[in-house]
């Protein structure tokens, strides 16, 4: 462990215990509040911005200005921002810690999601984004890696902070494979039921704070090229419709295992603006109709995030209502007293294999029958 990885305090309220990740905008640490006992400490995740980011005065100004906005977003499907700390040249965002894997890791382990589970999971993500938009915030970087999963159940525990390689075009499943769901996928995702994993949206304020640095993607725009809306690529100010488009790309990827566009970043950006994605096999008509509307090239042709959440929730409820139920065993009623066999005979107890039947009952008080014409014994 290097000196930079060793535990250290953050301000007077937090203790950075272990570095658990590193991304484009900084490092992620597992932390706790100062003074809490080890066994009772509530784990926190602290994202520390890169030192070169905080050298930009506009980033510093935006970091301070966005503090109150980011901390008032409340949703069970959003990782809450608990605090924002400035200590010298260290700028840190304190958030809830979610130990589960991110959505990208989970889908790589299970394969594409069944339609019912996809609708239920997508509805929860959309509900979280409704709360983000209600606070006046646009996420700007919706992607599977920024959606963590609580209540995750799978045969092998996935490492929360691993970064598996993205699937190449050669690894993309065929239409037939995309339409076939593995038993692990159906079991893990709960088929849309209440045991399904709970999505938690992360990093909903990072892109907004780092808006002035176009070097985040290396393409002149802020965000991830695979999930960027066409108007954002063209230089328009991001709006909630851009998050709708990004969520549509995520739903497409969950349905068939790969995003609709692949290639180098510049090629992917061009495809967003010029090409419509093809319909994957196995997606119901209503689900594909909603995803296609979310991927409209013009932002004013897309539904609002509220309508997306409501539409996905209706599909999830319909799938649960159509799920076949296990038939209940028939109820046995007692025989009526008027039945001639009611209460007369009892079933003999069961015998073990090879056991002899019991001898017939003897009635010592009943006299033996004497044949007619036979001599009776003399008294």
pLDDT digit string, tens, across residues 93-130: 999 999 888 999 988 888 899 999 999 999 999 999 99
Q: Looking at the domain assignment, is residue 35 inside a domain?
A: yes
Say which residue, 178 or 353, is predicted with more confidence.
353
Dist. CA 55–CA 60, nearest whole Å? 8
Residue 201 lies in a domain: yes
Residue 254 lies in a domain: yes
Does 183 lie in the same domain as 41? no
- Judged against a pLDDT cut of 50, whether residue 164 lies above it is answered with no
Mean pLDDT computed over every residue of the chain: 78
Number of structural domains found in the chain: 2
Q: Which domain holds residue 148?
A: 103-161+171-321
pTM of the complete model: 0.72
90 & 107 share domain: no
Tell me which of 303, 321, 339 is where a domain ends: 321
Q: Which residues are part of the catalytic machinery?
A: 141
Asked if 149 and 273 sit in the same domain, the reply is yes
Report the CATH number at residue 27: 3.30.200.20
Confidence of residue 156 (pLDDT cuts 50, 70, 90): very low
pLDDT tens per residue across span 332-358: 666 666 655 555 555 666 666 667 777
List pLDDT tens digits, range 46-93.
Answer: 999 888 877 778 777 777 777 778 888 899 999 989 998 988 888 899
- The reply to whether 194 and 128 lie within a common domain is yes
Domain membership flag for residue 19: yes
Q: Could you read off the pLDDT of 227-262 as tens digits, one per residue?
A: 999 999 988 888 999 999 999 999 999 998 889 998
Q: In the structure encoding, which two tokens stand for residue 228, read together?
A: 């960027």
CA distance 228 to 245: 7
> Does the residue 212 lie in any domain?
yes
- Is the same domain home to 149 and 288? yes
Regarding whether 71 and 142 lie in a shared domain, the answer is no
Final residue of a domain: which of 39, 65, 96? Answer: 96
Whether residue 66 is found in the same domain as residue 128:
no
Q: 288-316, pLDDT tens digit by residue?
A: 999 999 999 999 999 999 999 999 999 99
Q: Which helix (H) or strand (E) holds 311?
A: helix 305-321
The answer to whether the beta carbons of residues 65 and 52 sit under 8 Å apart is no
Residues 116, 57 share a domain = no
Q: Looking at residue 17, what DSSP letter applies?
A: E
The answer to the question of residue 346 being in a domain is no
Q: Give the CATH number of the domain where residue 181 resides.
A: 1.10.510.10
Assess whether 189 and 231 both reside in one domain: yes
């Amino acid at each position: 462990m290097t000196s930079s990885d060793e535990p250290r305090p953050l301000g007077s309220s937090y203790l950075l215990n272990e570095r658990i990740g590193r991304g484009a905008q900084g490092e992620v640490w597992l932390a706790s509040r100062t003074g809490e006992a080890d066994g009772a400490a509530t784990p926190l995740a602290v994202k520390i911005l890169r030192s070169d980011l905080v050298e930009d005065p506009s980033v510093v100004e935006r970091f301070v200005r966005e503090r109150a906005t980011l901390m008032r977003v409340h949703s069970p499907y959003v990782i809450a921002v608990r605090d924002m700390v400035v200590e010298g040249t260290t700028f840190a965002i304190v958030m809830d810690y979610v130990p589960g894997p991110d959505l990208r890791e989970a889908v790589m382990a299970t394969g594409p999601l069944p339609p019912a589970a996809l609708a239920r999971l997508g509805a929860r993500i959309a509900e979280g984004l409704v709360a983000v938009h209600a606070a006046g915030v646009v996420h700007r970087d919706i992607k599977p890696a920024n959606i963590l999963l609580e209540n995750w159940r799978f045969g092998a525990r996935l490492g929360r902070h691993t970064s598996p390689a993205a699937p190449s075009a050669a690894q993309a499943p065929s239409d037939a494979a995309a339409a076939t769901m593995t038993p692990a996928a159906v079991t893990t995702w709960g088929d849309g039921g209440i045991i399904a994993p709970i999505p938690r949206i992360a990093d909903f304020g990072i892109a907004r704070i780092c808006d002035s640095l176009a070097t985040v993607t290396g393409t002149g725009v802020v965000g991830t090229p695979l999930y960027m809306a066409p108007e954002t690529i063209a230089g328009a100010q991001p709006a909630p419709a851009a998050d709708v488009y990004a969520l549509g790309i995520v739903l497409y990827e969950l349905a068939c295992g790969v995003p609709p566009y692949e290639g180098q970043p510049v090629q992917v950006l061009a495809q967003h603006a010029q090409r419509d994605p093809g319909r994957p096999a196995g997606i119901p008509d209503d689900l594909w109709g909603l995803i296609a509307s979310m991927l409209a090239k013009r932002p004013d042709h897309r539904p609002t995030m509220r309508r997306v959440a409501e539409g996905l929730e209706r599909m999830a409820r319909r799938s649960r209502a159509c799920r076949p139920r296990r038939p209940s065993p028939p109820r046995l009623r007692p025989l009526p007293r008027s039945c001639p066999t009611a209460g007369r005979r009892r079933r003999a107890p069961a015998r073990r294999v090879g056991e002899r039947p019991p001898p017939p009952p003897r009635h010592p008080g009943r006299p033996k029958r004497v044949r007619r014409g036979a001599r009776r014994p003399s008294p």
